[in-house]
Amino acid sequence: MKEVVTGIDIGGTNTVLGLVDRDGNILAGDSLLTGSYPDVADFVKAIADSVKKMKQKAGDVEIKGIGIGAPNGNYYKGTIEQATNLVWRGVIPIADMIEKETSIKVVLTNDANAAAMGEMIFGAAKGMKDFIVLTLGTGLGSGIVVNGQMVYGHTGFAGELGHMVIVPNGRACGCGSHGCLETYASATGLVRTVLLLMSEMRDNTPLRNIPPAQLTSKMIAEEAAKNDPVALKAFDYTAEKLAIGIANSVIFSSPQAVFLFGGLVNAGELLFKPLRQYIDKYVMPWYRGRFEVLPSGIKEANAAVLGAAALAWNEIL
Amino acid sequence: MKEVVTGIDIGGTNTVLGLVDRDGNILAGDSLLTGSYPDVADFVKAIADSVKKMKQKAGDVEIKGIGIGAPNGNYYKGTIEQATNLVWRGVIPIADMIEKETSIKVVLTNDANAAAMGEMIFGAAKGMKDFIVLTLGTGLGSGIVVNGQMVYGHTGFAGELGHMVIVPNGRACGCGSHGCLETYASATGLVRTVLLLMSEMRDNTPLRNIPPAQLTSKMIAEEAAKNDPVALKAFDYTAEKLAIGIANSVIFSSPQAVFLFGGLVNAGELLFKPLRQYIDKYVMPWYRGRFEVLPSGIKEANAAVLGAAALAWNEIL
C-alpha cells in the first residue's frame, strides 16, 4: 500500500485537490468551484467526497494526512481568517471541520507559505535551510524559511513581504497602507506602472489603445518582448522596486536563495536582467554574491497542490 | 560550587568581561583596552589572565563556558571578520584561540545578537519566542529571534536591519550602499539630520554654534528637551525613518515585541512618542496592536557583558 497525502489549494475561484506521494507525483486530482458552496459545511462535505473519489481512483493507497494552502490561512489555529476573496466571512475553522469529516489529520497554512514548503520538499530549495519564496501574482505573497523552519511569528501571519513599505506615502494598497511592495511588484502593480509611465512618457505604444481596466501584465510582457519603450520601462521600474524589496529581505534573514514564482516570472529575462542589476545596486555590498535570485523549481500548474501536500509531508509525519 | 559563565564584549575601545550566574548577577568584572593589543595572540593571553583573575576574585565558582559578543562576529565559525573598528585585520579565529588558551568552551556572535540573547535570558523578552532587538548607537545593529532561535541565516550574518534601504539613493552609508536605515536612525544619523534641517529651516538654534564635527546626539536631545524647533524636528524625522524600518521588520517575522536599546533610546518620549505615531501610520493595518515597541529591559552599563553571558548560558548548556 502506497503512502500518500492529500494537497488542497483553496482559491477564490477554484479549489484544487491532489493525492501526492513522497516524491511529488500526483496520483489523482480533482477540483471544485469554491464559490458554489456559500455554506462552508457543504464545501467540507464536497472536499470529503472528493478525497474518497481520488482514493478510489488511485487504487491501493493510504492517505497519511491532508495539507491545505488557503488565503489568510492561520497555521497555528487551522483557520481561514477574514479572507476577502472567499465567500465565507469571519474566522472559519476549516482544518478542524475537514478533519472531523474525513477522520484524517489536517494541517493548514497560507498559500505563499505552502509554495515555500513545496519548494523545500519538491522544488529547487531541496536541502536549503534558509530561503525565501516570493509569489508574484495579482499581489505579492511570501514564504520565509529560517533554519529549516517556516517563519510563522507570534501571530501566525509572518511573511507579509508584499506589504513592506517601499515608497512612503506611495500607491494605495488593498491592505489600507500606502507604498507597499505589492502595489509595484505584482501583475496589478505592473499595470499601474504602465499607466504612470504613459502619463510621463511621450512615446507611442499600442498599450494606449487598451482600456486600463482591460490591461494585463501578459499584454505588457508581449509588448516588451517587441521592444515597446513603455513596456520595457515598466519592467525596469518593477524590477527596481522588487530589487529593493529583495535587498531588504536578504539583510533580514540572509537566505541562500530567493525564489520567484508566479505570472510575472514568466516574463523571464525581461524581469530578471534588470532585477539582478538593481539588486547589486541596492543590496548591502557585503551580501553581493552571497545569495541567489532564481525562478521557482516547481511547475506552475502543479505548484499549489504540491505546496499543500509538502506541508502535510513535512508537518504530519 | 556556583556555576557561572564568562561574558566578554569586545569593542573597538574597551573589552569588558564579567562572571555571570544563571540569574544575571555579575559576580566579578574586568576590562581591557582592546587597541593596546595590536597582536591578537597577546590579546588572547590577556583575556585568559583576566578570566583567571576574576575566578579568584569570585571565589568558589566553576566557569561552564565563555560567551563573546564582537563586531562582525561569525556565530558559525567563531571568527571576527573584517571588523573595521578593531585593530586586527582579516579573519580572526578568536573563539578557537581563547578556547585553546583557557580550556573552556567558547561561543561567539556579533554584538547585536548578543544583546538579543541578553534580552531573552535576562531582560524583557523572557518567555518570548519571536522578537527583535534594535541597538541604536553609532550605527544600528539588530538581533532577531524567530521561534525561540537566533536568526543567523545561511552566512551567519543575518539581521543587518541597519542596512535596510529606507531611502533609495539616499545618504551614503559606511557599508558602501545608500539610504540605509542606520544613516537616519542612529546617533550619527540624528546629527546628519540636524545638518539637513539647519539647511532647510530658518529657525534659530544653539546647534548652529557647534562645529558639526563636535555635534552629538546627546546635545541634540538636550536642546529638544528645551523645545528647540530644529532638535524636535530632528527627532520627529528620525522617528519616521525608524518607524518605516520597524514596520518593514514586523511584516517579515511578526514579532511579539521590538526592543530598542542604546544611546538614542535615552531620549525617551522625545523618540517614542513620534515613533508610535509613525509606526501606526506605516505598518500594515492588520498588524496594529499586534506587537509592542519597548525600551530594552537590560541596564545599558551591563548589557554587553550580560548579552555575551546569555549566549553562553543558552548555547553551551
Per-residue pLDDT of B219-242, as tens digits, reads 999 999 999 999 999 999 999 999
Q: Give chain A positions within 8 Å (CB) of B146.
A: 146-147, 149, 151, 153, 158
CA distance B226 to chain A (A): 30
CA distances from B42 to B36, B71, B82, B105 (A): 9, 19, 19, 19
Interchain proximity A164–B248, CB inside 8 Å = yes
| Residue of chain B whose Cα is closest to the Cα of A290 | B155
Residues A35-59, buried b or exposed e (16+ Cβ, 10 A)?
eebeebeebbebbbebbeebbeebe
How high is the pLDDT of residue B238?
A: 98
How high is the pLDDT of residue A118?
A: 96
Reference B238, options B288, B273, B280, B284; nearest CA is: B273
Q: In terms of domains, do B115 and B31 share one?
A: yes
Question: What value does the mean pLDDT take over residues B70-96?
Answer: 91
Q: What is the mean pLDDT of chain B?
A: 95
- Distance from C-alpha of A222 to C-alpha of A219, rounded to nearest angstrom: 5
Alpha helix (H) residue ranges in A59-186 = 94-102, 111-122
Interchain proximity A285–B254, CB inside 8 Å = no
**Percent of chain A residues past pLDDT 70, beyond the cut:** 100
Tally C-beta pairs within 8 A across A and B.
146
User: Range of B220's domain?
Assistant: 128-295
Interchain proximity A286–B244, CB inside 8 Å = no
How high is the pLDDT of residue A21?
A: 96
CA distance B159 to chain A (A): 5
Q: In terms of domains, do B64 and B208 share one?
A: no
Question: What value does the mean pLDDT take over residues B290-312?
Answer: 93
Q: Give chain A positions within 8 Å (CB) of B156.
A: 254
Q: In terms of domains, do A108 and A139 share one?
A: no
Q: Give chain B positions within 8 Å (CB) of A160.
A: 251-252, 254, 284
Report the residue from A155, A252, A286 with minimal CB separation from B161.
Answer: A252
CB B303 within 8 A of CB B118: yes
pLDDT tens for A299-309 read 888 888 999 99
Report the residue from B251, B255, B285 with minimal CB separation from A176.
Answer: B285
How high is the pLDDT of residue A23?
A: 94
CA distance A169 to chain B (A): 8
Report the residue from A164, A287, A290 with minimal CB separation from B251.
Answer: A164
Alpha helix (H) residue ranges in chain A = 40-58, 94-102, 111-122, 187-200, 217-225, 229-253, 269-282, 300-316
Lowest mean pLDDT of A90-94, B153-157, B261-265, name the range: B261-265
Q: In terms of domains, do B67 and B26 share one?
A: yes
ipTM metric: 0.93
| Residue of chain A whose Cα is closest to the Cα of B148 | A153
Q: How many domains does chain B have?
A: 2
Q: In terms of domains, do B81 and B115 share one?
A: yes
Distance of CA A102 to the CA centre of its chain: 27
Interchain proximity A165–B247, CB inside 8 Å = yes
CA distance B303 to chain A (A): 23
Q: In terms of domains, do B73 and B135 share one?
A: no
CB under 8 Å to B235, separation ≥6 — which residues? Answer: B190, B220, B221, B224, B267, B270, B271, B274
Q: Give chain B positions within 8 Å (CB) of A163.
A: 251, 284
CA distances from B220 to A114, A117, B53, B210, B273 (A): 49, 49, 41, 11, 17
Interchain proximity B175–A149, CB inside 8 Å = no
Element (H, E) at A258: strand A257-261
CA distance A159 to chain B (A): 5
**Percent of chain B residues past pLDDT 70, beyond the cut:** 100
And the C-alpha cell for A12? 477564490
Q: In terms of domains, do B194 and B214 share one?
A: yes
Interchain proximity A144–B252, CB inside 8 Å = yes
Residues from A contacting B (CB-CB < 8 Å) are 128-130, 144, 146-147, 149, 151-161, 163-165, 168, 175-177, 180, 240, 244, 247-249, 251-256, 282-287, 290-291
- Distance from C-alpha of B22 to C-alpha of A198, rounded to nearest angstrom: 64
How high is the pLDDT of residue A83?
A: 82
pLDDT band of A317, cuts 50, 70, 90: low
Residue with cell 532585477: A275
- Distance from C-alpha of B281 to C-alpha of B283, rounded to nearest angstrom: 6
CB B139 within 8 A of CB B162: yes
CB A90 within 8 A of CB A33: no
Which is it for strands B2-10 and B61-70: parallel, antiparallel or unpaired?
parallel
The type of residue at A291 is F
Residue with cell 516570493: A134
B59: left (phi over 0), alpha (psi -120 to 50) or beta: left
Q: What is the mean pLDDT of chain A?
A: 95
Please tell me the number of Cα atoms within 13 Å of B94 on its side-chain side: 36
pLDDT tens for A89-121 read 899 999 999 999 999 999 999 989 999 999 999
Q: In terms of domains, do B25 and B139 share one?
A: no
Q: In terms of domains, do A75 and A90 share one?
A: yes
Residue with cell 472531523: A100
Which is it for strands A106-110 and A61-70: parallel, antiparallel or unpaired?
parallel
Distance of CA B17 to the CA centre of its chain: 17
How high is the pLDDT of residue B84?
A: 78
- Distance from C-alpha of B263 to C-alpha of B222, rounded to nearest angstrom: 13
Q: In terms of domains, do A148 and A275 share one?
A: yes
CB under 8 Å to B128, separation ≥6 — which residues? Answer: A154, B120, B145, B255, B256, B257
Report the residue from B154, B157, B254 with minimal CB separation from A153.
Answer: B254
CB under 8 Å to B299, separation ≥6 — which residues? Answer: none
Q: In terms of domains, do B176 and B247 share one?
A: yes
**Percent of chain A residues past pLDDT 90, beyond the cut:** 91
CATH number at residue A283: 3.30.420.40
- Distance from C-alpha of A86 to C-alpha of A93, rounded to nearest angstrom: 14
Residue B166 has pLDDT above 90, yes or no: yes
Question: What value does the mean pLDDT take over residues A134-150?
Answer: 95
Report the residue from A168, A251, A284 with minimal CB separation from B282.
Answer: A168
pLDDT band of B82, cuts 50, 70, 90: confident
Q: In terms of domains, do A146 and A114 share one?
A: no
How high is the pLDDT of residue B317?
A: 67
How high is the pLDDT of residue B259?
A: 97
Residues from B contacting A (CB-CB < 8 Å) are 128-130, 144, 146-147, 149, 151-161, 163-165, 168, 175-177, 180, 240, 244, 247-249, 251-256, 282-287, 290-291
Question: What value does the mean pLDDT take over residues A165-184?
Answer: 96
- Distance from C-alpha of A64 to C-alpha of A5, rounded to nearest angstrom: 5
- Distance from C-alpha of B144 to C-alpha of B161, rounded to nearest angstrom: 9
Q: Would you give the DSSP letter of residue A169?
A: T
- Distance from C-alpha of A143 to C-alpha of A115, rounded to nearest angstrom: 7
